Amino acid sequence: MPMSTRKSNANAHPGRVVLESQTVRRTTKEIQEDKACKAEAAIAQREEEESRNKHIAEVEDAIERNEDQLHTHANRPDLRYEPM
């Protein structure tokens, strides 16, 4: 009968406990690349938020102009400018 390893011992190794508890060290180059990626992501996110805020402001301005025209031409709706 051939010897076989139990399933519970398949990945067991006396030094595995020590190896799993060690932190993985990164090189200076890896750290710099990570910082550069994070900086680029932050810039992209900031630009996206600014463009979103700009779009929201444009929509709010259009709504305000429309309401102003409604109030201005309440007595004479035929004078109101309707964009196509």
- Kindly state the average pLDDT of the residues 51-57: 95
- Kindly state the average pLDDT of the residues 30-48: 97
pTM over 0.75: no
Residues 10-25: tens digit of each pLDDT: 777 777 778 888 888 9
Dist CA 13 CA 16 (whole Å): 5
| Res 45 pLDDT > 80 | yes
Give the domain ranges of the chain. 25-74+80-84
Dist CA 42 CA 36 (whole Å): 10
